Copies of this chain bind each other. A is one copy, B any other.
Amino acid sequence: MNIQRPFSIVGVGKYLPKTIVSSEEIEKEVGLPEGYIYKNVGVKSRHIATEETLTYMAKEALTSALEDAQISIIEIDCLIGASASFDYIIPSRSSLIKNAFGDEVNEVDFPCIDISTVCTSFITAIDYASLLLSNNKYKNIAIVSSEISSKNLNPNDKETYGLFGDGAAAIIISKTTHNVGLIEYQSKTFSSGAKHTIIEGGGHINHPSDVAYSTELYAFKMYGKKLLKEAKYTLPKFLLRFFEPLNIDLKNINLIVPHQASKLGLRMLTVINKGNSQNIVDQLENHGNCIAASIPIALVSSIEDKKLKEGDTCFLIGTAAGITISGLLFKYSKK
């Protein structure tokens, strides 16, 4: 397999909110039978930001990644914010993260950029970072995904209320002289399903000056059945087109890190992987769906737990609101 654009991941970090909420607690809160959520949604517990902000979690995750990389924030050449939720509409997530480092970064002027394909933003950000690195201007790029969904959930929506969790993860992606990095990246948007995943309130349409706040209006709505129907058709096709020219089979990839979208979504991937779930990272049970932070949290955990090792191939894959499918295959190295 040829390396299209070399990069190494020299540091990784994550931050999970201190408060853990069990599915039992949620079942009691909304009057569901005990065991309903785990059985139907696949989640036992999730971290929920009660005191943390998105920027705080992002800073903590990035600080860990910098420590792991043994570099200082002032050695970063570009910071990419890759999330769907935000502390403020303006300014950008990424400039707020830099700002959170305070005086330490006042003398450095590296650019802060937000990029988003919603749940697969982290995949899009890695491809973008690898392009920026190939340009020879930057040496170290920080990518941070930080998500809080807990305030945009509707207790009456059984499909989503028990599914989501909060969290953040960061990586430092760097230039390398080794033969590692990006093998292939592809992203496709099937826009007929653009509104199958939506938050209806809070933008120009249903602006808060026109329509009063309601839990339902600001709830993350996911038409799960429509999405699964679409994914059943498009995902196998996407994977075929992705892997066939590379002459490699999905089951031979060392580690598959999928978006932790839903129990059925993860099961579909196992089916496509010919029933083999061994090389698929599944953290849904203890984290829920953390929007764009799901993939990096799973990736960072896998590196920390040495499930992803030097020279291993790793495939990041996810479906996102849009509907977008993004996949990125890379050869991992810390060096």
A-to-B contact residues, CB < 8 Å:
49, 53-54, 79, 84-92, 94-96, 98-99, 101, 105-106, 109-118, 124, 128, 131-132, 134-135, 148, 151-152, 187-192, 194-195, 197-205, 207-210, 212-213, 215, 218, 220, 234, 321-324, 326
Closest-by-CB residue of B relative to A85 is B204
Contacts of A94 in B (CB 8 A): 189
* Residue contact A105 to B203, C-beta cutoff 8 Å: no
* Residue contact A189 to B321, C-beta cutoff 8 Å: no
* Residue contact B111 to A220, C-beta cutoff 8 Å: no
Contacts of A188 in B (CB 8 A): 109-111
Q: How far is the CB of A45 from chain B (nearest CB, A)?
A: 21
State the number of copies, please. Answer: 2
* Residue contact B321 to A95, C-beta cutoff 8 Å: yes
Interface residue from B86, B109, B322 paired with A95 (Cβ < 8 Å): B322
* Bound-complex Cα distance A94 to B116 (A): 10
**Contacts A188-B111, A204-B53, A218-B209 given: A194-B91 contact, CB under 8 Å?**
yes
In the A-B complex, the 7 residue pairs with the smallest Cβ-Cβ separation, listed nearest first, are A99-B194, A95-B322, A91-B321, A111-B187, A98-B191, A109-B188, A131-B131
Q: How far is the CB of A151 from chain B (nearest CB, A)?
A: 5
* Residue contact A106 to B192, C-beta cutoff 8 Å: yes
* Residue contact B91 to A204, C-beta cutoff 8 Å: no
* Residue contact B116 to A151, C-beta cutoff 8 Å: no
Closest-by-CB residue of B relative to A80 is B115
* Bound-complex Cα distance A62 to B224 (A): 31
Q: How far is the CB of A308 from chain B (nearest CB, A)?
A: 25
* Residue contact B87 to A205, C-beta cutoff 8 Å: yes
* Bound-complex Cα distance A305 to B207 (A): 36
Q: How far is the CB of A77 from chain B (nearest CB, A)?
A: 11
* Residue contact A112 to B189, C-beta cutoff 8 Å: yes
**Contacts A91-B197, A116-B92 given: A208-B205 contact, CB under 8 Å?**
no
Interface residue from B49, B89, B98, B323 paired with A189 (Cβ < 8 Å): B98
Contacts of A84 in B (CB 8 A): 89-90
Closest-by-CB residue of B relative to A132 is B131
> Beyond A85-B89, A91-B194, A131-B135: 18 further Cβ-contacts under 8 Å?
A84-B90, A86-B204, A88-B202, A89-B152, A90-B199, A90-B321, A92-B118, A95-B321, A96-B191, A96-B194, A99-B191, A106-B191, A109-B188, A111-B188, A116-B116, A128-B128, A202-B208, A209-B213
Q: How far is the CB of A194 from chain B (nearest CB, A)?
A: 4
Interface residue from B99, B187, B202 paired with A195 (Cβ < 8 Å): B99
* Residue contact A198 to B91, C-beta cutoff 8 Å: yes
* Bound-complex Cα distance A322 to B10 (A): 27
Contacts of A87 in B (CB 8 A): 203-205
Interface hub of A87, A88, A89, A323 (most chain B Cβ within 10 A): A89
